Structure 1
Amino acid sequence: MPGLDRRTFLVTGLVTGLAAGLAAAIPAPASADPPPTPPPSTPGAEAGAAARGLCSDPFTLGVASGDPDPAGFVIWTRLAPRPLAEDGLGGMPPIAVPVRWQVYDDECCRRVVREGVADASPEWGHSVHVEVDRLRPGREYWYRFRAGPHLSPTGRALTAPDPASFGGPLTMAFVSCAQYEHGYFTAYRRLAEDHPDLVLHLGDYQYEYARDTYVAPTGNVRDHEGPETVTLADYRRRHAQYKTDPDLRAAHAAAPWLVVFDDHEVDNNWAGETPAHPEERPAFGQRREAAFRAYYENMPLRRTSVPCGAGMRLYRRVGWGRMATFHLLDTRQYRDDQACGDGYKDCPESAGPERSITGAEQEAWLLDGFRRSAARWDVIGQQVFFARRDSDAGPGTRTSQDAWDGYAASRRRITQGWMDAGVRNPVVLTGDVHAHWASDLKLDYDHPAGPTVGSELVTTSVSTTGDGADSDPADHPFLRINPHLRFYNDQRGYVLTRVEREAMTADFRVVPRVSVPGAEAYTRATFVVEDRVPGVQQTYLRPFSPPSAARTAGVTAEDTIRQETERP
């Protein structure tokens, strides 16, 4: 394998913005264009010896790819022979270790099309982010890494279609909310078996709680290691524990991911510079800094998302030819604080015209993206419920203040923005609420007979809140109160979509239990969004069994509210 021409990526003033213990140079992005001859500078003897001396497999956290474009994608790994080491360093020595990488155009890994060497540095948790380029659009590729004598698992990635082409149908899955203690990650395994082209993770990739702080209704089936995550070592260790799960590793290896965080990657229901508990505010900037750094270290993100102190640019736009544009949002880092606290409340202050869940800069970026888009489908990947969910059957309005309901003016500006821009097919993808939902979107929810102007698809959790139960979706109280809400299911799973020119089809996939591993997945319901026809249309509904229905008989809006309460 030839050598690598590494370029140093520096950000002026970063060191002054980092807290003690986090200060370090930005990691050098690995070039995807190795020269024909080795560069003058080769890895030092100490680093080479460290690589050769790795006695245990350093690829315990697997491999991943992400953020594809027509010419390439990011490939990622992180070296950690002892992933749960208490110092968060994964059992690695405190020096940079050279990691060789190769990309192939065949699944048997015989034909190398790109290759090089990247340094896994201790400052960045011995993670490697290679931005591979000069590949062909709309193609499958495979990749793997080598450190010393150890070879990583093989991952599959795809490049996006040419910007002038639709390409073929896009199979895209999206997921959210995987609480390690609450259940096994079976949904990740079943998602990988569905062979998607692209995976969106919409947040709550990991949870910050100490062991048994957040207990599922039927009890926890496994335990978090270590205290509540506050320090960089804590977050690194927690991310590592999650990636030791073989089902999660399989999902990462199956396809490129687009990732955005929600609250639990840092702290439950945090908002901007405000933590869940006011007394933690003086140190919250340092906690955010540690969490963002660990998140970058453990995700297949481009260097545009390298954190700078307590800030991280995560909102971004990813194109998939003429078929789709993905607008990925950050609804945590720039939002105003919740007006009346985090729960379901009648809160007139939430309608304040100045309130924003995205911040002014991100909102302007999104609206500009709508105006510029020529895609058949504009997909908004974000975290919290977009449509109104009123839990008061009377004349009042009682809604979740942590969701877009708590920022009603912000929601109206975004909705009006895609209408004014003439967006052909706006579809909002959502996580967070631990249940499947499908919704018609309105500009004015006070007039339910008004026109439908968009569609929302909401994925349930991978494991959070445990097994859950099936029920009759037509009998849920929220659907009776809110006629624009069209579907509900409280089992665990994910959403698998097929995006074509004429329609977007969404299969709401569920697993019957996560309290034991290995359950099979099935489609609970299928909804279709037709081209130029805003709103969701049900085309399939699997009958539910009477025993499952009996377990949820008499469910009320209050039951759902309690189920969605995150903080013990």
Structure 2
Amino acid sequence: MDQKLARRRFLKIGGATAAALAGSVTTAGIAWSSPTAPPTRLTDGVFTLGVASGDPLHDRVVIWTRLAGNPLALDGSGGMPSRPVAVSWEVAHDERFTRLVRRGMTMARREDAHTVHVDVGGLEPARWYYYRFRAEGQLSPVGRTRTAPAPGDLPSSWTFSIASCQNYTAGYYTAYQDMLAGNPDLVVHLGDYIYEGGAQGAYWEHMPFRTAQRPAGPTMTLYRRLHWGRLATINMLDTRQYRSDHVPDIEADGPAAWDPDRTMLGTEQMRWLVDDLNTSTSTWNVLAQQVPFFEDPDVGAENDKWDGYRVSRQQLLEVMASGRPRNPLVLSGDIHANRAADLKLDFDDPESVTVGVEFTGTSITSGGQAAATVRHDPDPDNPHFRMAGTGRGHVAITVTPQLARADYRIVDTVRQPTSAARTVTSYVVEEGRAGLAPA
């Protein structure tokens, strides 16, 4: 992640739900001509929104930018002309681009909000790369990205951070500075990447991942699967588009919540997930999704969390209990608070078998400034909760063949452009032993 990721301007770029981090920004001045001569000159500073990358496979990664000389233009054009703009791109082993690996050209078009979305293939596994774009003499910042390990490899470790809920009007996104210092392999964003309203079709269709394809119908396929060698399978779920309904909230433990026809993921996505869990050979099986999976009767009426879809959740709990997917690890956000929870086959029975664990991260800024608090084993009505906390920040997670560790990182403030951060608590789960323990 480059140092500009922590700045508020970064927040307008298309997000990466599983974004490979970009590196330090530079403007290495290597001149090479644009493939076409522009009929009219672009305004200066068309790379105001920076660069991003995401969806790493072992041999490829998606790189992204959007041309916008005036990102806040009221007509939604980003200050760009209506004509297409030729954009060249380069990928290299070094940030000075003396060892080029791939290069090419694509067109940024008005109907796509002048975004550039390149699926760069032919890369080496488990390797960092640098990338940049050029448009009519203007050079973008340099981003740093990486590929996933080869399918047969077992990495000694995998580091990533989870983030969610970043409201542009609620504060500075200072948690990203702390992520940069941790040098993670990935950032997994779990939802509410942007709160601003308005028509954003081009924004969503051209985020930096390869499976954002719009099928016939009102939704587009955002769920997908990544592999970190043999160490982990990461199922990125979509719990927003395929829910049975968006009617007013239902009683979380009422009859409607147990309706077998109610589904959180939709039939196709649920089958896709269960089939993988039943056949996975990975050491860790990660479910990265938007909303809390654990039971929380104190929440009350809900229709957008798993408590409102009990039969669907129970189906997944039973798959986890079967032992076929090793070491289930659920990631969630949404509630603007930290949680660490054991996942029970029967949440109503504290003695029920533990089938997996869940790490829930607080918001980046949503809810505004909040004091950091941590309570261990906090709720007698929810004995599966191991920790509940408040504050703003992210969760830094390290996975090895032997254990997974979650460090809950809280920033001191979101009211200033920069902030110190600290770990307020940490939890681990050992391979082959479902259940959380304090680190």
TM-score (norm 2): 0.88
Alpha-carbon distance, 1:421 to partner: 5.8
- Aligned partner of 1:544 in structure 2 is none
- Aligned partner of 2:305 in structure 1 is 403
For residue 485 of structure 1, the aligned residue among 382, 385, 388 is 385
1:269-326, CA deviations, whole angstroms, 9 ceiling, x for partnerless residues? xxxxxxxxxxxxxxxxxxxxx3xx42223x2121x31334632100111111001110
For residue 523 of structure 1, the aligned residue among 391, 411, 423 is 423
Residue segments in structure 1 that go unaligned for 5+ positions in a row: 1-41, 209-228, 236-289, 393-397, 540-568
1:155-201, CA deviations, whole angstroms, 9 ceiling, x for partnerless residues? 11111111000123111111000011111110122212221111100
CA distance in structure 2 between the partners assigned to 1:108 and 1:537 by the alignment? 45
**SS of the residue 1:508 aligns to:** strand
Counterpart amino acid of 2:408?
Answer: F
Q: Greater shift after overlay, 153-162 or 409-418?
A: 409-418
**SS of the residue 1:370 aligns to:** helix
- Aligned partner of 1:218 in structure 2 is none
Alpha-carbon distance, 1:343 to partner: 7.4
- Aligned partner of 1:376 in structure 2 is 283
For residue 332 of structure 1, the aligned residue among 224, 240, 245 is 240
Counterpart amino acid of 2:416?
Answer: V
Counterpart amino acid of 1:296?
Answer: E
CA distance in structure 1 between the partners assigned to 2:246 and 2:81 by the alignment? 43
Q: Does residue 320 of structure 1 match 2:220?
A: no
CA distance in structure 2 between the partners assigned to 1:170 and 1:180 by the alignment? 30
- Aligned partner of 1:294 in structure 2 is 203
**SS of the residue 1:507 aligns to:** strand
Contact 1:367–1:418 at 8 Å: present in 2 too?
Answer: no
For residue 358 of structure 1, the aligned residue among 251, 262, 265 is 265
CA distance in structure 2 between the partners assigned to 1:74 and 1:137 by the alignment? 14
Q: How does 1:487-566 map to 2 (within 5 A)?
A: 487-539=387-439
CA distance in structure 2 between the partners assigned to 1:179 and 1:436 by the alignment? 17
Contact 2:253–2:308 at 8 Å: present in 1 too?
Answer: no
Alpha-carbon distance, 1:537 to partner: 1.0
Contact 2:295–2:307 at 8 Å: present in 1 too?
Answer: yes
- Aligned partner of 1:77 in structure 2 is 65
Alpha-carbon distance, 1:391 to partner: 1.2
Alpha-carbon distance, 1:501 to partner: 0.4
For residue 53 of structure 2, the aligned residue among 62, 65, 75 is 65
For residue 442 of structure 1, the aligned residue among 344, 347, 351 is 344
**SS of the residue 2:314 aligns to:** helix
More strand by share: 2
Contact 2:156–2:401 at 8 Å: present in 1 too?
Answer: no
CA distance in structure 2 between the partners assigned to 1:346 and 1:72 by the alignment? 45
CA distance in structure 1 between the partners assigned to 2:154 and 2:253 by the alignment? 45
Change (3 A) 1:90 1:79: same
Counterpart amino acid of 2:142?
Answer: T
1:489-530, CA deviations, whole angstroms, 9 ceiling, x for partnerless residues? 110000101111001111000012212231101001111111
- Aligned partner of 1:420 in structure 2 is 322
- Aligned partner of 1:464 in structure 2 is 366
CA distance in structure 2 between the partners assigned to 1:401 and 1:76 by the alignment? 34
- Aligned partner of 1:120 in structure 2 is 108
Contact 2:232–2:286 at 8 Å: present in 1 too?
Answer: yes
- Aligned partner of 2:27 in structure 1 is none
TM-score (norm 1): 0.69
- Aligned partner of 1:4 in structure 2 is none
Change (3 A) 1:94 1:421: farther
- Aligned partner of 2:39 in structure 1 is 49
Counterpart amino acid of 2:287?
Answer: I
CA RMSD of superposed structures (Å): 1.8
CA distance in structure 2 between the partners assigned to 1:497 and 1:207 by the alignment? 26
CA distance in structure 2 between the partners assigned to 1:352 and 1:344 by the alignment? 12
**SS of the residue 2:366 aligns to:** coil
CA distance in structure 1 between the partners assigned to 2:252 and 2:243 by the alignment? 19
Counterpart amino acid of 1:374?
Answer: T
CA distance in structure 1 between the partners assigned to 2:239 and 2:377 by the alignment? 31
Q: Greater shift after overlay, 410-419 or 458-467?
A: 410-419
- Aligned partner of 1:543 in structure 2 is none
Q: Does residue 201 of structure 1 match 2:108?
A: no
Change (3 A) 1:444 1:481: same
1:449-483, CA deviations, whole angstroms, 9 ceiling, x for partnerless residues? 1110000000100000011123341384xx23101
For residue 178 of structure 1, the aligned residue among 166, 169, 180 is 166
Contact 1:176–1:204 at 8 Å: present in 2 too?
Answer: yes
Q: How does 1:218-229 map to 2 (within 5 A)?
A: 229=197
Larger radius of gyration: 1
- Aligned partner of 1:163 in structure 2 is 151
Contact 2:369–2:414 at 8 Å: present in 1 too?
Answer: yes
Contact 1:140–1:157 at 8 Å: present in 2 too?
Answer: yes
More helix by share: 1
**SS of the residue 1:361 aligns to:** helix
Alpha-carbon distance, 1:399 to partner: 5.4
Number of equivalences = 405
CA distance in structure 1 between the partners assigned to 2:213 and 2:128 by the alignment? 27
Alpha-carbon distance, 1:357 to partner: 0.4
Counterpart amino acid of 2:384?
Answer: H
Contact 1:430–1:457 at 8 Å: present in 2 too?
Answer: yes
**SS of the residue 1:522 aligns to:** strand
Residue segments in structure 2 that go unaligned for 5+ positions in a row: 1-33
